[in-house]
């Protein structure tokens, strides 16, 4: 089973994705990492130099063209499912799990390096309906509990 993790910035998509892939003995793919490798610069700099629309087009290209041969866990950028019909593409590739971030974790200081952090509450409100289209929603409050809940979904 392929799993695609969506959610707001800092919701744990990459952290949970890596751990889950290791436990399930499958490939882990992080779209942000693929974009940074392709462009050879950090995402924050991509936003600064080329703008959000350019970045979203890069994300879409990566989503469409990433097709691992073996089962995988895919961690996406926070806005990726909400651009054009990306959520529909994701659903064709696997089971989409929305990692819902508890409000108490939303404004952690480590999120301040993310390009859209200053607009966090506005963005979260705009993206709620998109995230709600996921096949499953799991609140990511504790890593072990989240991993356990995702594995339950797979049974």
pLDDT along the chain (155 residues), means of 10: 93 96 95 96 96 96 92 96 96 96 67 60 89 96 93 85
114 is in an annotated binding site: yes
Q: What is the pLDDT of residue 124?
A: 85
Provide the CATH topology of domain 3-149: Rossmann fold (3.40.50)
Domain ranges for the chain, please list them.
3-149
C-alpha span between 117 and 111 (Å, rounded): 6
- Residues near 23 by Cβ (< 8 Å), separated by ≥ 6? 147, 151
Q: What is the pLDDT of residue 109?
A: 46
77 is in an annotated binding site: no
Q: What is the pLDDT of residue 115?
A: 55
56 is in an annotated binding site: yes
* Helix H or strand E segment including 115: none
32 is in an annotated binding site: yes
């Amino acid at each position: 089973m392929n799993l695609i993790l969506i959610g707001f910035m800092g919701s744990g998509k990459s952290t949970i994705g890596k751990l889950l892939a290791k436990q399930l003995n499958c490939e882990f793919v992080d779209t942000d990492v693929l974009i940074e490798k392709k462009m050879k610069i950090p995402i924050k700099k991509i936003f600064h130099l080329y703008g959000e629309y350019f970045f979203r087009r890069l994300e879409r290209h990566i989503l469409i063209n990433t097709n691992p041969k073996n089962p995988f866990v895919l961690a996406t950028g926070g806005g990726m499912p909400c651009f054009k019909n990306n959520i529909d593409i994701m659903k064709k590739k696997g089971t989409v799990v929305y990692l819902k971030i508890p409000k108490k974790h939303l404004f952690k200081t480590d999120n301040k390096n993310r390009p859209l952090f200053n607009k966090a509450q506005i963005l979260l409100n705009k993206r709620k309906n998109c995230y709600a289209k996921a096949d499953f929603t799991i609140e990511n409050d504790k890593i072990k509990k989240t991993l356990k809940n995702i594995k339950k979904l797979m049974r």
